[in-house]
Amino acid sequence: MLLLGGVLGRSLSFFYDRRLQQTAEATKTEVDDIILYALGRPGVLLGIVFRAIAGQRILSPAEPLRTVLNASVEIPVVLTVAWIAVRLTDGLIDTYLVEYVERTETKLDDELVPIVSRITNIAIVSIAGVVILDSLGYDVTAVIASLGVAGVAIAFASRKTMADIFGGAHILTTKPFLIDDIVDVDGTTGTAESIGLRTTRIREFDGRLITLPNSTIANAEVRNISSEPT
């Protein structure tokens, strides 16, 4: 079985390196290239796991050693699947989402891309963690419940952040002013230097740089001096 696992691992590696990559390079779509990228390095770990499974089948250990060995095999499998999922989502985001936002004129979507990638990766890792805890015999129901409570607490604490993000979206979609416009926001007058995901920076005429939360601007009286008739 160990020999079979080694042969299988080498065969899969050869098939991946030669046949699949050649086929992917010959196609016009980039999806197959992304999938092969996701399976690349994790495939080495899968080969090791296959050998471990083969060795466990040969040894046929008694309890409780069998439980320990089962967990020691399941954990690498879960980690490998999570690794593949992270690489797959990163590849899709880098290939399609980044390419899309580079064609747009707004800066908000440029800042949203890394946030989407981070949230996706956190979700994948969290799911993998719950599966690993389940394989170790922990009560995942209690873990999920605690994660739910933590999620509520995080959501409550991040209300201001979300308000700023929606404020930034409001500014970039309604466009009360653009970068380099001279604006007055509730008494703060100057040149709009940047409109970010959470804040907007205004350079006053005396050189001071004022950073305002986007939620404040969204609820403020904004005067675009540059757009006024001369």
229: cis peptide before it, omega within 30°? no
Residue 76's pLDDT band, with cuts at 50, 70 and 90, is: confident
pLDDT digit string, tens, across residues 203-225 = 999 999 999 999 899 889 999 99
pLDDT digit string, tens, across residues 19-46 = 555 555 656 667 767 777 777 777 667 6
Compute CA 207 distance to the chain's CA centroid, rounded to the nearest angstrom: 38
pLDDT for 3 = 46
Q: What is the DSSP letter of 61?
A: P
Dihedral angle sign, alpha carbons of residues 170, 172, 175, 181: positive
Average pLDDT over residues 59-65: 62
Average pLDDT over residues 131-145: 76
pLDDT for 164 = 80
Contact 230, 179 (CB under 8 A): no
Residue 165 confidence (pLDDT) above 60 = yes
| Whether 106 and 175 share a structural domain | no
pLDDT digit string, tens, across residues 112-125 = 677 778 888 888 88
Residue 201's pLDDT band, with cuts at 50, 70 and 90, is: very high
Residue 178 confidence (pLDDT) above 80 = yes
| Whether 208 and 120 share a structural domain | no
- 49 or 14: which leads in pLDDT: 49
Examine residue 146 and state whether it is found in any structural domain, yes or no. Answer: no
Lowest mean pLDDT of 72-81, 107-116, 176-185, name the range. 107-116
DSSP, collapsed to helix, strand or coil, labels residue 20 as: helix
Examine residue 156 and state whether it is found in any structural domain, yes or no. Answer: no
Segments forming the whole domain that contains residue 171:
164-227
Alpha-helix runs per DSSP H in the chain: 2-14, 21-26, 31-39, 42-59, 65-92, 98-101, 108-135, 140-157, 159-174, 214-218
Examine residue 153 and state whether it is found in any structural domain, yes or no. Answer: no
Look up tokens 């466990």; give the residue: 56
| Whether 84 and 179 share a structural domain | no
| Whether 175 and 125 share a structural domain | no
Examine residue 6 and state whether it is found in any structural domain, yes or no. Answer: yes
Residue 1 confidence (pLDDT) above 50 = no
pLDDT digit string, tens, across residues 77-104 = 888 888 889 988 888 888 777 776 666 6
> CB neighbours (10 Å) of residue 156?
8
Examine residue 19 and state whether it is found in any structural domain, yes or no. Answer: yes
Classify 180 in phi/psi space as left (phi over 0), alpha (psi -120 to 50) or beta: left
pLDDT for 41 = 72
- 2 or 229: which leads in pLDDT: 229
With 0.85 as the threshold, say if the pTM is over it.
no
Q: Is 188 exposed, middle or buried (0-12, 13-18, 19+ CB in 10 A)?
A: middle
- 196 or 60: which leads in pLDDT: 196
Examine residue 142 and state whether it is found in any structural domain, yes or no. Answer: no
Token digits for 220?
Answer: 């403020």
CATH, residue 216: 2.30.30.60
Mean residue pLDDT of the chain comes to 75
Residue 73's pLDDT band, with cuts at 50, 70 and 90, is: confident
| Whether 119 and 174 share a structural domain | no
| Whether 58 and 124 share a structural domain | yes
Q: Which of 130, 155, 180 delimits the end of a domain?
A: 130
Q: For the chain, what is the domain count? A: 2
Examine residue 69 and state whether it is found in any structural domain, yes or no. Answer: yes
Token digits for 187?
Answer: 């008494």
| Whether 120 and 179 share a structural domain | no
Question: What separation in angstroms does the CA of 62 have from each of 59, 69, 70, 73, 184?
Answer: 9, 10, 11, 16, 76
- Angle at CA of residue 137, ends 136 and 140, nearest 5°: 100
| Whether 7 and 83 share a structural domain | yes
pLDDT for 196 = 80
| Whether 11 and 83 share a structural domain | yes
